[in-house]
Structure 1
Amino acid sequence: MLAACLLAVVACAPPEPVRIGFLGGLSGRVADLGIGGRNGAILAVELRNQQGGIDGRPIELIAEDDQQDAEVARKAADRLLARGVEAVIGPMTSAMALVVLPQFNTAGIPLISPTATTNALTALDDQFFRVVAPTAAHVFKSAEHYFRQGGVRRVVLVCDLRNKAYSESWANDFRQAFEGMGGQVVDEASIDSGDSLAALAASILASKPDGVVIISNSVDTALLIQQIRMRDSEVRIGTAEWAATERLIELGGRAVEGVVVAQYVDRESTAPAYQAFLRAYRQRFSHEPGFPGLTAFDATNVALDAIAARSSGQTLKQALLAHGRFAGAQSPIDIDGNGDARRDTFLSAIHDGRFKSLY
């Protein structure tokens, strides 16, 4: 009789959830990237649960804040692994991805980054996957625009030292492409915590460039552009993809008008899946998803699709590689045998307080 009761209890117990993690910077002055990413992951999980989860199992998202600090990130990764997650979406920066990847390699758990593009993680047989292309695959587009359409010949590059894995990768690829066309990188400057942005702006303009390209977060990029514009209203200014959130426009105001901004998202896409995503995201969170929300939404769906398709005895890494092509909100996401993605980027310019596509 007791055994029968126990069997009845077990039969009525809810199924064990599928647990996935999110790891990104959710606090601090540049948390817009992590918050957008977390919200994109939340939306993907909620929509999948509305469809019944995976094989009747609900999906549980466990979010951790890496605070863009190496030691904090390692401890957050340990907590996620201790919870038995099947995959982790994140981190949102290349620097943090390099920090925590060894833990996931040891555990055999995939780390699927929405936005980490450093070349240092390219073509490796590891647990790292991404849904955007490494910098070597897309920075040429920015360099070509500045040289051919913008008429820029002498440029200063400004790199954020707090995410060197990304900013130096982007800068090196830009330099190679730009100088290959006949342009000249006349100086390289750096942003670090505690720097005087006024002094940095003066230093950047001292070499009399006709272009400045800033490879930093949205907050410091906006504030630095304000300082540059106070001193020079004509020099052409552009940014890498990292700065391309709504925070850049909110903080930059009139100073960022006309700035060329590289994007991981085609903001004028009419793809039905993207329009449905936009509506759902805006309704759920009451703000724009930008590129962090979109790429994290895609990364989460990549993880969930691979978990759903995994066959008996197959690891999730094997399932991800076997699947290869995944549906993205804007376009298919093709992941190669090393977990690297092929995906386009887009150029926009800020006009009337909005990102406007250039092509």
Structure 2
Amino acid sequence: MNYSVLVALLFCWLLAGCTPKSEPILIGLAVNLTGTGGTAGEYIREGAMLAVEEVNRRGGVNGRPLKLLVRDDKNSAEGIRQADQELMQEGVVAIIGHSYSDSTLQAYPQVMANGKTLLITGYTATDKLTGRDDLFFRTSVSSSSYSAATVRLLNRRGIRSITLLQDRVNFSFSEEITAGVRQRFDGAVSVVTTDSRGEVNWDSVVRQIQRQKPGAVFLLTEVATSGIAAQKLRSAGYQGDLLATLWAQTPDLIRFGGAAVEGLTILTFIEPDNPRPAYRAFAATIEKRFNKAATARTDRAYELITILAEALGRAPAHTAAELKAALLREPFETLMGTVRFDRFGDVERPVFEVRVADGRFANGGEIK
């Protein structure tokens, strides 16, 4: 190869549009792995890892492999700041994060100020980020969608009173759902608050709930707290309906709650018995690879990576701005159905009634 050809190649590689095919596209994953509720982050990491491996096995994105950079946000303000800062300094085009609405709200200003990184999540429902024309996208439904579905379910069951058990670990999520239920429900609404980051006085929590004599208790709590709350309430003789969110939609709910969670209803946009062939293959691979069943968190992480990979393949350049345009351009067919972003990067998806029956999650259908 002569000197002029070498110079031409070097000049091309220096241009943004001439990136060598072998150079990886960097995607960040910032989730809680060691703080309170860190098990959830492990499920997320496993789903993302598997998706990246499969994308790369099929040839990557237009010949370029994906590289997943994982950071532990430790479910703390400083951990979130540090995790995102490190990923942006590494040059990731997108960050998948974070594990909770509260965490994403803390991350949002820093990532948006950067202006070069897209923030995308399947784990943030807060209405505070709805309807913004920015670099934030999500595949999860909003708090208002959950509130509306909750009230439809209560009305359908003829329940006239509800107590919501809020967990301060993800307070914006639980507070927004509570506000939405208050606004829409014409029955009695009461609230009891706890904090799973410390010692929970379960005797006091149960007494407060029992005093209200609610027809249903909505556990707006992380999975271990939800399982323990169910045990404490049933042991105290509570016979009303127990509800929970997809925050509790993992096998850990049954591990912590045992027989007490039988009949509990989860409001979720994740179908537990998804019949799609792509999902069945994914679930089988997760079980074989990690020796555990796929969960709602694994599913969402896998879906997020596949959406990003497809959008990157559509984008003329791998920048946050071009990625945003590609995400908005067309819908995505995923293992969980069609995902279509509106012009603000938000989605509408059906909310399902999922019940614990015989130690497993059973889909009771869409809550209409």
Provide the TM-score with structure 1 as the length reference.
0.92
Q: Is the 8 A contact 1:306 1:316 kept in 2?
A: no
Structure 1's consecutive aligned runs of 4 or more residues displaced over 3 angstroms after TM superposition are: 1-7
1:292 paired to 2:297:
yes
Alpha-carbon spacing, 1:322–1:298, altered in 2? closer, same or farther (3 Å): same
Partner amino acid, structure 1, of 2:188? Q
Q: Give the Cα separation in 2 of the matches to 1:174 and 1:23.
A: 31
Q: Give the Cα separation in 2 of the matches to 1:322 and 1:249.
A: 38
Tell me by how many angstroms 1:3 deviates.
5.8
Q: Give the Cα separation in 1 of the matches to 2:6 and 2:288.
A: 44
1:232 paired to 2:240:
no
Post-superposition CA distance 1:84-127 (Å, at most 9, x none): 11101111211011111112112221111011011111001222
Q: Is the 8 A contact 2:36 2:75 kept in 1?
A: no
Q: Is the 8 A contact 2:30 2:73 kept in 1?
A: yes
Identical counterparts, % of pairs? 29
Tell me by how many angstroms 1:158 deviates.
1.1
Tell me by how many angstroms 1:48 deviates.
0.2
Q: Give the Cα separation in 1 of the matches to 2:214 and 2:75.
A: 32
State the Cα RMSD in Å: 2.3
Partner of 1:91: 98
Partner amino acid, structure 2, of 1:112? I
Q: Is the 8 A contact 2:135 2:324 kept in 1?
A: no
Partner amino acid, structure 1, of 2:355? A
Q: Is the 8 A contact 1:265 1:290 kept in 2?
A: no
Q: Give the Cα separation in 2 of the matches to 1:236 and 1:313.
A: 49
Q: Give the Cα separation in 2 of the matches to 1:14 and 1:309.
A: 16
Tell me by how many angstroms 1:4 deviates.
9.2
Alpha-carbon spacing, 1:119–1:325, altered in 2? closer, same or farther (3 Å): same
Partner of 1:194: 199
Q: Is the 8 A contact 2:215 2:240 kept in 1?
A: yes
What SS is found at the alignment partner of 2:152? helix
User: Aligned to 2:273, which of 265, 268, 271?
Assistant: 268
Post-superposition CA distance 1:327-347 (Å, at most 9, x none): 221211010111101212211
Partner of 2:312: 307
What SS is found at the alignment partner of 2:258? helix
> In the TM superposition, what are the counterparts of 1:120-131 in structure 2 within 5 Å?
120-131=128-139
Alpha-carbon spacing, 1:138–1:121, altered in 2? closer, same or farther (3 Å): same
User: Aligned to 1:71, which of 50, 72, 78?
Assistant: 78
Bigger mean CA offset, 23-32 vs 219-228: 23-32
Partner amino acid, structure 2, of 1:104? V
Q: Give the Cα separation in 2 of the matches to 1:132 and 1:279.
A: 24
Partner amino acid, structure 2, of 1:190? T
Partner of 2:17: none
Q: Give the Cα separation in 1 of the matches to 2:128 and 2:96.
A: 19
1:329 paired to 2:335:
yes
User: Aligned to 1:117, which of 104, 125, 141?
Assistant: 125
1:146 paired to 2:154:
yes
1:21 paired to 2:28:
yes
Tell me by how many angstroms 1:14 deviates.
7.7
1:350 paired to 2:350:
no
Tell me by how many angstroms 1:318 deviates.
3.3
Provide the TM-score with structure 2 as the length reference.
0.90
* Equivalenced residues, count: 353
Partner of 1:40: 47
Unaligned runs of 5+ in 1: none
Partner of 1:208: 213
Tell me by how many angstroms 1:312 deviates.
4.4
Partner of 1:256: 261
Partner of 1:184: 188
Q: Give the Cα separation in 2 of the matches to 1:204 and 1:266.
A: 30
Q: Give the Cα separation in 2 of the matches to 1:36 and 1:188.
A: 30
Partner of 2:325: 319
Tell me by how many angstroms 1:222 deviates.
0.9
Q: Is the 8 A contact 1:37 1:114 kept in 2?
A: no
What SS is found at the alignment partner of 2:45? helix
Unaligned runs of 5+ in 2: 14-19
Post-superposition CA distance 1:41-76 (Å, at most 9, x none): 111101000001112111110111111111111011
Q: Give the Cα separation in 2 of the matches to 1:198 and 1:324.
A: 52
Partner amino acid, structure 2, of 1:46? E
Bigger mean CA offset, 139-148 vs 291-300: 139-148
What SS is found at the alignment partner of 1:357? strand
Q: Give the Cα separation in 2 of the matches to 1:278 and 1:139.
A: 29
